[in-house]
Amino acid sequence: MRAPHDQHFLSDEDAVQKISDFCDVKGVKVLEIGPGRGVLTRALLDRGAEVIAIELDGTLTSYLKSVFQKEIESGRFTLIHGDAIKCELPAFEKIVANLPYSASSKITFRLLELGFSEAVLMYQKEFAERMIALPGTSNCGRLSIMVQTYAKVMPLLELSPESFSPPPEVDSMVVKITPKKELTYPIKDRSFYAKLVRELFSHRRKTLKKALKISSHILGEDNVKEIIYKSPDEILKKRPEELTLKEFSDLSNAVE
């Protein structure tokens, strides 16, 4: 089977086994996004998981239906033909997936909103490195702050292009994401927090005070005035990438 839509299928059997063993899936409803040819699906089923797979490509869904016909009939495998960014998802507990790299950001944010107990996800290495970049470092961005606000991220495995068929032009990385049961720095309004982080990093080269003023039409003029009034000058002089998780939390919570 040829790779449609510029897909790159995981073909390294050793990597498949490692990824499947990174979390306990026995008796657990596991969401898999982008199952491709089903090699990871098979490994998860062999470990006792009940797999719910979301596949966008119609050719692949037909192929997967034929390969996993018995598992579908027994109820251990549910296959949904749809877009993981927007399709309705049934209940699940954990996620194990080789995410489509072009949609990694949108899918990750959606999964964090939906909630899960544990996720083992493969990303383009550069994307994963930005996800785990520490607040206050130059590689830190919106992705770093939003993910680390709500979850712990641990790098697990790096894969070269040769682990895929056909080989992509980039290296890949597998990470484990574990949502925090209690936030280290509480957020009063998660919607406003997300908007604030997004707007500040869209002006990441500006000082915080300038970035806030530029974004006042989106964040609300009164909200921006309140944040500036309640924030110390040393914070307002920083750039967004220099802020800590606590400082982002304080900025957002300054708005009544």
The answer to whether 6 is a known ligand-binding residue is no
The answer to whether 21 is a known ligand-binding residue is no
Contact 90, 78 (CB under 8 A): yes
Contact 172, 125 (CB under 8 A): yes
b/e string for 106-119 if b means 16 or more Cβ within 10 A?
ebbbebbeeebebb
Q: What are phi and psi of 9, to 5 degrees?
A: -85, 135
The answer to whether 27 is a known ligand-binding residue is no
Amino acid at 208: L
The answer to whether 253 is a known ligand-binding residue is no
The answer to whether 55 is a known ligand-binding residue is yes
93-to-34, 112, 139 alpha-carbon distances in Å: 17, 12, 31
Name the maximum alpha-carbon separation found in the chain: 64
The answer to whether 83 is a known ligand-binding residue is yes
| Annotation: binding site | 8, 10, 34, 55, 83, 98
| Annotation: binding site for S-adenosyl-L-methionine | 8, 10, 34, 55, 83, 98
